[in-house]
């Protein structure tokens, strides 16, 4: 896929997606959403993909938000459609079979914070800033921010952030559980790669089903405990499970085949 708005690198099954609009602080526009959707749709279910890292071009911003220029002509129906499109793309990321890590290298505001929260794990540089400033524009979050922020940091602090539009620094994001690691600026992708390399040594079917189970906890239509025993049966009956048990007993590295 060739799209100047989304630069794609790949090494040993780990893909790095760089949102490439530095002149606009990597703001999300239709072209960026199209490129993200195309990538995750094309690679869905491909076990050659060991993991994905999403970051922003330059050193100032991960994604500074949605492209406000696209909002001016929208009416109620158009706004709802835009919001749903963004949510649909971010659900694709959240439900992707391989782990997706946001390497947050600067501002992650509005749609940028929402993009980061749709990833399975977040790594922040020391200069990262997080916030949902939509109320400053007379808006509510549109891409899942009102829901995922509460899931990640709890109702009280999420309510304060959503209503005041205040930004938080990387260290506070770590304390609140919004990110799992804070590293020196410029080391975000390296840390994310390290995490994905570790996960890549695990059983790919088990990784996929674990992601589904985590998502099931927040899905009111799914009985997470029932899904867990079903997925336990699914994985224990797999060739990978037999290989994992044999490797453990024989004290060797498992060679998983995703089947």
Could you tell me which residues are beta bridge partners of residue 131?
109
Q: Give the alpha-carbon dihedral of 147, 42, 193, 95, to 10 degrees.
A: 30
Q: Provide φ and ψ at 142, rounded to 5°.
A: -115, -15
- Residue 6: its pLDDT value, please? 97
Query: What pLDDT was estimated at residue 86?
Result: 96
Residues 78 and 146 in one domain: yes
Inter-CA distances, 74 with 69, 79, 86, 93, 231, Å: 10, 6, 15, 26, 43
Residues 55 and 162 in one domain: yes
- Residues 184, 68, single domain; the answer is yes
pLDDT for residue 111: 97
* 100-128 pLDDT tens trace: 999 999 999 999 999 999 999 999 999 99
Q: Is 36 contained in some domain? A: yes
**Positive or negative: CA dihedral 124, 32, 117, 131:** positive
208 shares a domain with 192: no
The percent of residues above 70 in pLDDT, for the chain, comes to 99
pLDDT value at position 74? 87
| In a domain? residue 217 | yes
Question: Catalytic amino acids?
Answer: 114, 134
In this prediction the pTM is: 0.94
CATH number of the domain bearing residue 128: 3.90.226.10
Per the CB < 8 A criterion, the answer to whether 165 and 133 are in contact is: yes
Are the C-beta atoms of residues 125 and 187 closer than 8 Å to each other? yes
Cα separation, 78 vs 112, whole angstroms = 21
For residue 2, name the pLDDT band (cuts at 50, 70, 90). Answer: low
Structural domain tally of the chain? 2
Same structural domain, 189 and 224: no
Residue 28 belongs to some domain of the structure: yes
Does residue 153 sit in the same domain as residue 33?
yes
Same domain, 87 and 191: yes
Q: Are residues 230 and 147 in the same domain?
A: no
Examine the domain organization and report whether 90 and 157 are in the same domain: yes
**Residue 162 in domain:** yes
Structure tokens of 96?
């992707």
User: pLDDT tens across 142-192, in order?
Assistant: 999 999 999 999 999 999 999 999 999 999 999 999 999 999 999 999 999
Task: Give the pLDDT band of residue 130 (cuts 50, 70, 90).
Answer: very high
Q: Is residue 255 part of a domain?
A: no
Q: Are residues 170 and 237 in the same domain?
A: no
* Euclidean distance between CA atoms 207 and 97, whole angstroms: 8
**Within a domain: residue 99?**
yes
Are 108 and 63 in contact by the 8 Å Cβ rule? The answer is: yes
Is 1 part of a structural domain of the chain? Answer: no
Range of the domain at 212: 204-250
Using CA atoms, how far residue 50 sits from 3, 12, 243, in Å, is 22, 8, 19
**Predicted confidence (pLDDT) at residue 245 exceeds the cutoff of 90:** no
CA distances 79 to 2, 65, 71, Å, are: 29, 16, 8
Q: Is the pLDDT of residue 244 over 60?
A: yes
pLDDT at 250: 84
In the structure, what pLDDT confidence band is assigned to residue 70 with cuts at 50, 70 and 90?
Answer: confident
Q: What is the mean pLDDT of the chain?
A: 94
Residues 157 and 39 in one domain: yes
Judge whether residue 210 has pLDDT over 90.
yes
Which tens digit of pLDDT belongs to each residue from 78-98?
999 999 999 999 999 999 999
Question: What is the CA angle 39-41-47, rounded to 5?
Answer: 85
Q: Is the pLDDT confidence value at 243 over 80?
A: no
pLDDT tens-digit map of 247-257:
888 888 888 88
221 and 175 in a common domain: no
């Amino acid at each position: 896929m060739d799209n100047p708005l989304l630069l794609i690198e790949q090494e040993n099954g780990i893909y790095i997606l760089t949102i490439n609009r530095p002149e606009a602080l990597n703001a999300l526009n239709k072209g960026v959403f199209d490129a993200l959707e195309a990538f995750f749709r094309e690679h869905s279910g491909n076990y050659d993909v060991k993991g994905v890292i999403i970051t922003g071009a330059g050193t100032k911003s991960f994604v500074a938000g949605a492209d406000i220029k696209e909002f001016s002509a929208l009416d109620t129906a158009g706004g709802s459609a835009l919001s749903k499109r963004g949510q649909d793309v971010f659900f694709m990321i959240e439900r992707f079979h391989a782990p997706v890590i946001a390497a947050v290298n600067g501002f992650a505001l509005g749609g940028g914070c929402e993009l980061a929260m749709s990833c399975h794990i977040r790594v922040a540089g020391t200069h990262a800033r997080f916030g949902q400033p939509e109320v400053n524009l007379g808006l509510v979050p549109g891409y899942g921010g009102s829901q995922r922020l509460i899931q990640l940091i709890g109702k009280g602090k999420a309510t304060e952030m959503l209503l005041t539009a205040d930004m938080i620094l990387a260290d506070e994001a770590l304390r609140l559980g919004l990110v799992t690691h804070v590293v020196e600026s410029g080391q975000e992708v390296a840390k994310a790669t390290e995490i994905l390399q570790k996960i890549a040594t695990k059983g790919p079917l088990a990784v996929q089903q674990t992601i589904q189970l985590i998502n099931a906890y927040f899905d009111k239509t799914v009985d997470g405990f029932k899904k867990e025993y079903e997925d336990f049966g699914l994985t224990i009956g797999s060739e990978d499970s037999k290989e994992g048990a044999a490797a453990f007993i024989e004290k060797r590295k498992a060679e998983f085949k995703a089947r």
